[in-house]
């Protein structure tokens, strides 16, 4: 399990506002998956955006608190959180538009 988190934490690009790590791919597929759910459906970008922002807020303000932090979750920067939302939206867009 620790090895998986190690891979997910691996930074691929970390330059200014450009941030990509292993988690970015997971967020992409997460967004892709949301487009397949009945609750979000396709093309509900506003709804998905709000859900992704809420998720990041929960992650930063609850999950990353020391008393709750499961192994493998580390504090992330604002750019990292924004990148997670962007990749989630990108996945959702691809799922909405191209996954028939």
Residues that bind Ca ion (CB under 5 A): 59, 81, 84
Question: How far from 9 is each of 13, 25, 57, 70, CA to CA, in Å?
Answer: 12, 11, 19, 14
Residue nearest Ca ion (C-beta atom): 84
- Please compute Rg for the chain using Cα positions: 14
Q: How far is the CB of 23 from Ca ion (least distance, A)?
A: 7
C-beta of 4 vs 41, nearer to Ca ion: 4
Of the two residues 22 and 59, which places its CB atom closer to Ca ion in the complex?
Answer: 59
Picking from 96, 88, 98, the residue whose alpha carbon sits closest to that of residue 49 is 88
- CB of 81 or CB of 96, closer to Ca ion: 81
Instruction: At 81, list the tokens.
Output: 């959180």
Shortest distance (Å) from residue 71 CB to Ca ion: 16
- Smallest gap, in angstroms, from Cβ of residue 76 to Ca ion? 5
Nearer Cβ to Ca ion, position 35 or 81? 81
Residue 27 to residue 34: CA distance in whole angstroms = 10
């Amino acid at each position: 399990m620790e090895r998986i988190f190690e891979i997910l934490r691996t930074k691929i690009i970390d330059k200014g506002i450009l941030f990509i790590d292993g988690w970015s791919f997971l967020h992409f597929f997460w967004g892709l998956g949301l487009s397949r759910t009945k609750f979000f459906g396709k093309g509900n970008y506003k709804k998905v955006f709000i859900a992704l922002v809420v998720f990041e807020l929960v992650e930063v303000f609850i999950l990353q608190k020391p008393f709750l932090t499961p192994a493998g979750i580390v504090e992330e920067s604002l750019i990292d959180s924004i990148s997670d939302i962007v990749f989630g939206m990108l996945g959702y867009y691809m799922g909405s538009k191209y996954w028939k």
